Amino acid sequence: MRLLVFGQSGQVAQELARRLPQGISARFLGRDQADLSDPAACAAAIGDCDAVINAAAYTAVDKAQTDEAAALAVNATAPAAIAARCAALDIPFLHLSTDYVFDGAGTLPFAPNHPTGPQNAYGRTKLAGEKGIRAASERHLILRTSWVVSAHGSNFVKTMLRLGGTRDSLAVVADQIGGPTPGADIADALLVAAKAMVDGAHGGTHHFAGAPDVSWAGFARAIMAQAELACQITDISTSAYPTPAARPLNSRLDCSAFEAEFGVTRPDWRRGLSVILQELSA
């Protein structure tokens, strides 16, 4: 199976490059080869592959509040154009989306068919991308995930390690609950799904997130404990840590449909965290 992957330096793209099994090859397009701010150029770059994965996105959540047009081009217009080109070639298109398409209300996990209601510009642009993909191609997988972490790039684990190594205590939000998801596990899930879709699996809209669900503060404590850092974590509320973009309080995702369709269970983020820490220490 030959994959074309939009993205090269992001967390999931880097894990995809490292985790390709025998029998699967991939060509990775960085921003210099396929800039998602130019949707037509991205669509034109597709060819000679069995499936396309979009692992690139505009992910600066707070910046998107004042730069929504740029975020919309990358997160919505480009994925829709890529999906349309994949449809013309009759190949599957796999796309990563986010828990931010929901309003974050309640305490129950959001099912894939739950009504959406993004609270910020980033969520609106990602939701627009989902709608564009569905309209452009039947052979698609929209995989919503949450709280992505890895040894690459910027993410919560690396921030906590940096701050926890120099401070005695940190105040971390405790009323936002979700599933931290290692980028390596997302990469593995995409590879399984891509193979299945090339072989005829349906796809559709699915959820994939790490387990168990935890607060940011609880996640921070686990990071400190596994890294053997003495930094103490103090719980605070979201209202005590205002940000330009509103964050959902409930980011829990119901991943049962993805497991039923593709046989991939929710990964234990505690095990993934251990691997990430080992890689960073090395």
Distance between CA atoms of residues 19 and 16, nearest Å = 5
Q: Which two tokens stand for residue 274?
A: 């251990």
Which stretches within 6-66 are classed as H helix? 11-18, 39-44
Backbone angles phi, psi at 154, to 5 degrees: -105, 130
Label residue 252 left, alpha or beta by phi (over 0 means left) and psi (-120 to 50 means alpha). Answer: beta
Burial class (CB in 10 A: 0-12, 13-18, 19+), 228: exposed
Give bridge partners of residue 52 from the DSSP assignment.
4, 93
The answer to whether residues 76 and 30 touch, using CB atoms and an 8 Å cutoff, is: no
Active site residues: 122
